[in-house]
Structure formats: structure tokens, C-alpha cells
Amino acid sequence: MERALSDGKVVLIENLEESVDPVLGPLLGHETIKKGRTLSCAVSFQVKEVNVTEVKIDEAREHCRPAAARASLLYFIMNDLNKIHSMYQFSLKVFGVAVLKAPSDDTLKQRVSNLIDSITFSVFQYTTRGLFEYDKLTYTAQLTFQILLMNKEINAVELDFLLRYPAQSGLSSPVDFLSVQSWGGIKRRACILENSIKITNEPPTGMHANLHKALDNFNQVKAVLDDIMEKLLDDVNIPELMGKVEERTPYIVVAIQECEHMNMLTREIKRSFREGELTMTSDMENLQNAIFLDQVPESWTKRAYPSMAGLAGWFVNLFSRIKELEPGPQTLLSHPQCGS
């Protein structure tokens, strides 16, 4: 035993309260030293394993920090709701449930994103169920603002201006749900917006006054559209026309094809006009710009004969073709037949 201690080996005595028998001690010393060496190796291996695991945990903690930050933010917002009403008390079990509900993924980045989405949605849904209706908007706004601030998607100064807005004094609120302070803030912001728009609408100093009209082309486009709609005819009834034709001569075939071609073109023109009344899409914006610049819109040229003329000349030719078809079936029936 003494030799083992002098060699620096670890001696393990399982029960320190029991004394070593003077007779059996030398006999048990060998087994005690052997067991101590084995346990020492196991402890050394576990220490190395703990160090490796600690490094992995630290690395994973850094990757999961955004999810923890979002959960912390949601917790403090949820915990502060009792300042609005003492009845608002919530359980923290919702965070554990949210983590379990988060979809798994092989990539760590997507897994963290799933955790953030699951925690945010679960906590928001759980919290709003226990709020009065008039407090839900306050909670939602606070939650949105804090998340945007944490993600640096909004400016703190601009948010402060939004919440601590300057108000115009000396006004009375025209509605019951807005206080005098709120209505004064709305009027003040409307004044700021009006001044900003006025800068872009007004022409620069020293230019002709009629240049201001060039900034607005809606009236000119509307006048052109009204003129077109007045001159467009209804679709030609092709089945009725075919029923009244006794013999399909080459002239009749060409005339019917012209009627079908004209029907397709007029339908497209009317369709584009109707769509522009309801929505303002990129196609409608291109249509408006083309009409204002005296150009034939691309959707119309696909269904019309090739032409290099501008919009005005193009429509003159179109209306002349329409006038030729205006009498309808009588023109075809009265036309001299081939070979007569």
C-alpha cells in the first residue's frame, strides 16, 4: 500500500469509515489499487468527453441564440400584460409545447428558423385567446414593434415619432372612438404628408404653368378611351351570318374570316378596358402609357394586322374596316356571286 502511494497511484477505499484490517490489508491492497486505476482511467475518459460535449454545446448555443432571444422577448411582453389587467397571468408551458411542435430539419439554420416561427405563432395564439378584445390590438402592435426593432427592420427614432407624435392643438374629434389628442396627431401627420406630396406635384419655379398638366395624363387617356368605346361595335353573329349565306364563295369566306378576326380584336380591346376599371396592374399601366404616347398596345397588335402607324392612324384604319362590316349579312348577300 505504501509502495503504491509512493508511486503516485490512486488508492480507492470504498468506505472511509471502515478501518483496514492489519492482516487482510496487505492482501486487499492489490485489488484496491487495481480498482482505483480502472476508475481513474474511466474518470479521465469522461473528463475528455465532457470537454468535447461542452464545446459542442457552446457552438449549438450560439446557433440557437436567435430562437432564445425571440422566446425571451415574447416572455417579457407576455409577462408585462398584467400591468394592463391583473387577470392576465400566463403559463410558461407554452414555450415547451412550441419547441415540441416545431418541425424538424436536417440543417441547423432551417431548424432554428422553424423554432422561431413555432415559438412566435404558438405564444401569440395562446396569449390572444386570453385577452379582451380591446387589448388584443395593443398586444399585437407591441409584439410587432418589438420584433421589428430586434431585427433592425425599423428605425427606433421613426417608431418613437409614430408613438409620441406631435399633435395639432385647438381641434375637436369628429368621431367618438378618437380622442382629441389622437385626432390632433392625425391632422398633424396629414399636414406633413400633404407638404411632402406638394413638393413632388408642383412644378419647379420658373417653368411654365402648363407643365403641371403634363404630370397628369389620366384625363387625356380617358378621353381617348371614351372615343374608342363609342365607335366600337358589338360582335358580329357568325352563326347567323353563315345561315343566311347560300353559297360560300371566296369572297364570302374572306368576309367571314374578317368578321371573326374583328370580333377577337374588339373583345380584347373591351376586355382590357374592363380590367382597367377594377385593377391597376403592370399590364394596365403599360396600356395607359401606350395610349398616352400614341402607340398601339402590344396586346392589341397581337390580334391585328401589322401596322407601323401610330395609335390614331391605327384606329382610323380599324374604324374604316368596322364601317365596311357595319351593314352585316346584307352586304354579303347582296354582293355579286363569283361567275355571275
Q: How confident is the model at residue 199 (pLDDT cuts 50, 70, 90)?
A: low
Radius of gyration of the chain (CA): 42
Size of the chain, expressed as the number of residues it contains: 340
Per-residue confidence (pLDDT) for residue 19, from 0 to 100: 46
The yes-or-no verdict on residue 267 having pLDDT over 80 is no
Q: Is 240 left (phi over 0), alpha (psi -120 to 50) or beta?
A: alpha
Per-residue confidence (pLDDT) for residue 277, from 0 to 100: 58
C-alpha 199/C-alpha 9 separation (Å) is 89
Q: How confident is the model at residue 13 (pLDDT cuts 50, 70, 90)?
A: very low
Per-residue confidence (pLDDT) for residue 56, from 0 to 100: 83
- With both helix axes pointing from N to C terminus, report the angle between 25-63 and 108-129 in degrees, rounded to the nearest 10: 70
C-alpha 152/C-alpha 289 separation (Å) is 38
What is the dihedral sign for C-alpha 320, 239, 255, 331? Answer: negative
Of 34-43, 127-136, 231-240, 311-320, which range is least confident? Answer: 34-43
Q: What is the dihedral of CA 285, 288, 289, 290, to 10 degrees?
A: 120
- Helix H or strand E encompassing 295: none
The yes-or-no verdict on residue 12 having pLDDT over 50 is no
3-class DSSP state for residue 214? Answer: helix
Are 138 and 91 in contact, with CB atoms under 8 Å apart? no
C-alpha 84/C-alpha 81 separation (Å) is 5
Of 33-42, 136-145, 231-240, 282-291, which range is least confident? Answer: 33-42
Are 131 and 87 in contact, with CB atoms under 8 Å apart? no
The yes-or-no verdict on residue 120 having pLDDT over 90 is yes
Give the tens place of pLDDT for each residue, 321-338: 767 665 555 555 555 444
Cβ-based neighbour number of residue 265 at 10 Å = 20
Q: How confident is the model at residue 33 (pLDDT cuts 50, 70, 90)?
A: low
Render the burial of 52-83: b for 16+ CB within 10 Å, e for the rest: eeeeeeeeeeeebebbeebbebbbebbeebee
3-class DSSP state for residue 115? Answer: helix
Per-residue confidence (pLDDT) for residue 338, from 0 to 100: 42
| Amino acid identity at 226 | D
Give the mean pLDDT of 96-124: 91
Give the mean pLDDT of 96-117: 90
Are 4 and 33 in contact, with CB atoms under 8 Å apart? yes
C-alpha 30/C-alpha 4 separation (Å) is 9
Per-residue confidence (pLDDT) for residue 127, from 0 to 100: 93
Of 37-51, 161-175, 216-230, which range is least confident? Answer: 216-230
Per-residue confidence (pLDDT) for residue 74, from 0 to 100: 92
The yes-or-no verdict on residue 6 having pLDDT over 70 is no
Q: What is the CATH number of domain 65-163?
A: 1.10.8.1220
The yes-or-no verdict on residue 205 having pLDDT over 90 is no
Give the tens place of pLDDT for each residue, 248-264: 777 777 777 777 777 77
DSSP-derived letter for residue 234 is P
Considering the chain, what percentage of its residues have pLDDT values greater than 90?
A: 13
- Among 253, 232, 233, smallest CA distance to 241 is for 253
Instruction: Name the pTM for this structure.
Output: 0.42
